Each structure stands twice: as structure tokens, then as C-alpha cells.
Amino acid sequence: MKASFWKVGFVVGMLLVFLVCGQAVLAKVTITFAHFLPESDPRWVYWNQAIEEYMKTHPDVEIVQDVVSHDEYLNVKFKTMAATDTLPELFLINSMDMRSAVRNKRLMDWTEIVNSDPGWRDSFLPGLFAETTFGDRVYAIPWQFILNETLVYNTEIFQKVGLDRIPESWEEFMNVCQKLKDAGYIPMALGAKAGWPMVSFFVEIFCEYICGKEWVDEIGNFTGKASFDDPRFVEVLKTFKYPVDKGYFNPDLISIDNSEAAGYFYAGQAAILPQGSWVTGMIANDAPDMLEKASVAPIPRPTNALPEVKYGIFTGGSGWEIACNTRLTEEQKKVCVDLVKAFTSVEFAKRHPSFNWLPFAKVEIGPDEGTRLLRELYQLVLAAPAVRLMNQEQSGPGIADALYKKLQEMVIGSITPEQAAKDIQAVYEKIVEAEAQLRK
């Protein structure tokens, strides 16, 4: 009887072992990837192909995409996940959210992974990791490259008015705008209902030219060593306000958005369209007939620029990065690293010109790849004396919001540049104080 009991016990025990081991073998490594790319985006198509191929070769892995619209992701979904510590294994993060996420220990440290693969690390455009590096640690991976400001101009209009190009100096450029205005054209079409185009297309680059790299870095580091009521920043605001006061922008610039402003350019009413580098794809999609008429130039160098800052610089970066949460198992971590390397490969970067995006890696663009406008812009990037980190992204959402609001007030004349700078500084001082408390 005892022998039978032990035999039964042995069989039952072995069955339990088999079931447990079998479940371990069959258990899938699950990764949720949260982002905002719609299926119509060619980058989503590439990512989706990479995901499907990975799951085919790794049957023990399941990758689920959690996708919502860009604005919902930026304004609601990500902030909710970060605040409640429910970030998925893999997700996109905006540069303006990086600082708080690092401080709150929400992001996996990529430093050793990046440094252990120098071929992959060095394939990115120089400086692209600036947005994701805090101290000497890397917390996310760039997957795109965006210039924050460029001027696209209608060459046919320029020829009609007796102009051949956008000049390198701001003073000469203002003369060009006056000539365009006298000829009955809107010199520059701008839609700043949301505030950010004024900052992204003009103020950030003016900060680089007039305030300089050290000021921009100190502002972004919240050390209190630089201030927005600095006379140099007041000059930045005055430099932007001058063409506003002269009527070189559309009069409804505060009441329309960025896409509505582009309509003036497409219709031939405006000669120049200030935009970011995404303009190459925007024109190709919305007004392809403009591609043959359009050319591109950097923001002209202001007369009061620092002597050492040369013409042709840009501010840029990734804007959005790919990150992981800090709670990954080793199996999940391996999958995430494999996926991110696939999403940020040179092969992927080579595809960018085909859908009119600047590549984030150093690649050759053939004469038939992308549009002429994109190739022209990429050559400007390669020839630029510097491509600097986006100022507003580095400073964070609190300062960005203050900049947007105060520039709008300045443009409509309710406050002076001096008062705008003072008001922005008041917001900045509170953030500096809060940062100092967090560092204690």
C-alpha cells in the first residue's frame, strides 16, 4: 500500500514538474510598445515590418502596439502613464518630458548598451544624443532628425520681384521682405495660434546667434547662472518683433495655425514659408506642384549676432525618443534592445528620403532619392557650422508655455519685449528654485 502511495506521489510530482516546466517553455515574453504613429505613416510601416519579422524568428515573444493620436499621446496618455508609473516596456517620449522622467527614475539607463556597440552609436548624426543624455548617462534613443527652422521660398515670386535668393544677413533679409511687401506679396506666412512656431522657427535660432551657446546651455540646465531678462534675450525678442511691426508677416498670424499659414504659400500669396525640416514632406503631400518652385535657406544671421557664431547654423534634434521603463526583466530588456536597434538602424535611416524625412544617421542620398527640396536641405545640414540642441526642448514644457504665451502678447502689442522677458524670467526662477530643491 505504501509502495503504491509513493508511486502515485512520484507520478503526480513528475506531472507537476512537467506542467510547470512546460508552462515556462510556452510562456511568452510580452512587450507593449506605446506610440502615436498611424498606419499611414511610412515609419510605422517599417516598424511594423520589423516587429512582425522579429516575432516570426522569436515565437516566444509577443509585441503589442498601443497607438493613439499624436496630440492625445503628448498631452494625455504619456503624462498619465508617467504620473502613475504605468509606462509600458517600450514607448516614445518627448524631449520636454525627459528631465522629469529621469528625475523620477522612470527610464532605463542605456549608457552601457550604447557604448558597447560603437558602430551603432557612431552611425547617428553628431550631437543627436544630447536630448537624451543627463550627466553622462543616456536614457533614450533618438529615432528621427528634425531641424526646427528653415525658410522655404517661392523662386518664381522671387524672380518676378527681381530677387534670386534669401540673403545671409538679417538686415539684407529685411530689405528683401520690404521689396516683397511693396510688390503685393505676404513676405512670410506664419501661423502662431499655438505659440510654438514663433519660438521654433525664429526665437530659438536667435538665442543661438545673439545669446550664444553658453547662455543656452545654462538656461537648459536650470543653474540660475543665465536669465531671460538678460539684455541679449531682450534683443532676441526685438529682432523677432521688428518684422512683425513692419508687416512682413500675415496680419492674422496669431489667429491661424501652422497648416493654415502654409495655405498662403501654396496659393502664391506668400513668398516665404518658415517651417521645420518636415516641410519637405508637407509640401510633397499637400502641394506637390510647389516642389519645382521651392528652394530652401537657413535663417539669416542677425546683425547683432555674436562674432564667433557663423551663418548657416541650425537648431535640431530628435524631438521624440524611444525609451524603456525601469522594470524590465532580462528577457524583456533583450527584446527591447533588439527592437530599438532595428528601429534606429542605418537601413531604416536610408529609407527616410523616400518619405521626405531627413535621415537621423550619416547616409548618402542619391540624386534620385527623395525630392530636390529634401536633398537641398540635407546638404545645408551637412555644411552647417553647427547643429545645436533645440532650446525649448531642453528647457522643458514650463518655460516653453511661458515663451508661447508671452510672445503672443508681445506680438499683439499688449506687452513690450522687455516686459515679456521679465515675465518669462519670473516663471523660470520658480523652476530654478524647484530644481535646486530636488537636487538637495
Please state, in angstroms and rounded to a whole number, the distance separating the CA atoms of residues 125 and 142: 10
Q: Summarize pLDDT for 214-232 with one digit per residue, the tens.
A: 999 889 888 889 999 999 9
Which tens digits make up the pLDDT trace of 280-338?
999 999 999 999 999 999 999 999 999 999 999 999 888 899 999 999 999 999 999 99
* 50 φ/ψ sector (left φ>0, alpha ψ -120 to 50, else beta): alpha
Whether the pLDDT of residue 246 is over 90: the answer is yes
**21/368: higher pLDDT:** 368
- Distance CA(152)–CA(304), nearest Å, equals 24
Q: Assign residue 38 a region (left: φ > 0; alpha: ψ between -120 and 50; beta: otherwise).
A: beta
Domain ranges of the chain: 30-145+318-363, 149-316+386-439
pLDDT in tens, 374-389: 999 999 998 999 888 7
Q: With 80 as the cut, is the pLDDT of residue 8 above it?
A: no
Statement: residue 84 has pLDDT above 80? yes
Q: What is the mean pLDDT of residues 46-54?
A: 95
Give the CATH architecture of domain 149-316+386-439.
3-Layer(aba) Sandwich (3.40)
332 contacts 88 by C-beta, under 8 angstroms: no
When the pLDDT of each residue in the chain is averaged and rounded to a whole number, the result is: 90
C-alpha–C-alpha distance, residues 433 and 223, integer Å: 9
Q: Could you give the 3-state DSSP secondary structure of residue 387?
A: strand
What pLDDT is recorded for position 100?
A: 86
Query: Could you tell me the fold of the domain covering 30-145+318-363?
Result: D-Maltodextrin-Binding Protein; domain 2 (3.40.190)
Please name which of 167, 93, 166 lies closest in space to residue 131, comparing C-alpha atoms: 93
SS3 category, 39: coil
C-alpha cell at 387: 547643429
Residue 398 confidence class, pLDDT cut points 50, 70, 90: confident
Our separate counts of H helices and E strands in the chain read: 21, 14
Query: Would 30-145+318-363 and 149-316+386-439 be classified into the same CATH topology?
Result: yes
CB contact set of 53 (below 8 Å; sequence gap of 6+): none
**pLDDT given for residue 396 in this prediction:** 62
Torsional class of 380: left (φ above 0), alpha (ψ -120 to 50), beta (otherwise): alpha
Cα-only R_g, the chain: 26
Amino acid at residue number 111: T
Residue 23 pLDDT exceeds 70: no
